[in-house]
Amino acid sequence: MLSKYVKEKTMFRSATTWKRRDFLRTGIVAATGSMLGLKVTKGGVGAPAIKTNTFQPVAISSGNGLAATEKAMEIVLNGGDCLDAAVAGVKIQEDDPEDTSVGYGGLPNERGVVQLDASVMHGPTHRAGAVGALENIRYASEVAKIIMERTKRVFLVGKGALEFARMHGFKEENLLTEQARTLWQYWIENRSKFDDYMTPTESLDDIPEQLRYFIDTGGTINLNVLDTHGNLGGCTTTSGLAFKIPGRIGDSPIIGAGLYVDNEFGAAGSTGLGEVNMQTCASFLVVEEMGRGKTPTDACMAVCQRIVERTKVGYLWRNGRPAFNVNFYAINKRGEFGCASVLSGSQY
């Protein structure tokens, strides 16, 4: 992690002199669709695209979502709804114990408790649902969707969210895998040489690189879908910041920050440091920029620019450069898609 930060620090000028060209038109993204020469079948990429109705479907996701986009495309190519497809896609990562940023296997808060956040938004109805600090329930995305479908509310958190999930038949389970527990234990034992913990000397050479890898590469999943009916839907789901303050909510469940969908203009979502997105209403801004005529990539880049210009305190190196990353993924009504990132080298 430290070596990566050192490399990144050499790549950027002061935020006060940041230019549009400094933002990546990043290729680190999972997408399937009929645009830009991509060819899609029900099973994924490879054969001629199937034409259905007027709209060619597209699914775009963060870099951990290749299987998610394939699943989403399978559903919409069979006439399925955009949001059903998005949730079915992200559930693959919520099930994956190797993805330490989402669902089962996600890294816990500082007390060792896995707390999940998620949001969904459905373009045709312009409705949304969200859940925050949800414990013991693997599929935060599904709980968010049921909140949207079965209540007049948008956002449930903590104990109330858990009770709601129980009421709708979700099974409680321990989401802390052995891998996540080991990484959390290492963090506790090494976060300060002045606290009450210590690590056996023989383990010091074994775990640091693992810990750096999992903290540095974990990062939420966002999936946005245009279906064959021309409707847009999206979902963002995460276990949040590794070893966070208990109860911390990032941008993922915040409508307009980690996800926003407008069926006339487009859909956008984000991964990365949630606080700067919440302070900028970032995903909403991406969609608004598309509504003003920008391409999805240019809209994402414009919001990256806005975030860098507006972030003044707390998330910068001493020289004013960003000490954080955020990534955006967007699709417009025409099926054009794009993405951008504040920093290079992000896997998400």
* Torsion over CA: 120, 126, 127, 132 (sign): positive
CA pair distance 279, 260, nearest whole angstrom: 15
Q: Is the pLDDT of residue 321 over 60?
A: yes
* Higher-pLDDT residue of 274, 19: 274
Range of the domain at 151: 2-341
**pLDDT attached to residue 28:** 41
Q: What is the pLDDT of residue 7?
A: 30
How much is the average pLDDT of 204-223? 60
In a domain, residue 347? The reply is no
Which distant-in-sequence residues (6+ apart) come within 8 Å of 139 by Cβ?
91, 94, 103, 170
Question: What is the domain count for the chain?
Answer: 1
Nearest to 46, CA basis, from 60, 32, 58, 35: 32
**φ, ψ for residue 274, nearest 5 deg:** -70, -30
CA distances from 210 to 60, 63, 100, 207, 221 (A): 29, 20, 12, 5, 21
Is residue 248's pLDDT more than 50?
yes
Which pLDDT value is given to residue 305?
96
Q: What is the mean pLDDT of the chain?
A: 83
The span from the CA of 180 to the CA of 191, in Å, is 16
User: Which residues are catalytically annotated?
Assistant: 220
Banded model confidence at residue 4, pLDDT cuts 50, 70, 90: very low
Q: How far apart are CA 23 and CA 26, in angstroms?
A: 8
**Mean pLDDT of the 336-342 span:** 96
pLDDT band at 32 (very low <50, low <70, confident <90, very high): low
d(CA 348, CA 295): 21
From the CB of residue 14, how many other CB atoms can be counted at a distance below 10 Å?
Answer: 13
- The CATH number covering residue 293 comes to 3.60.20.30
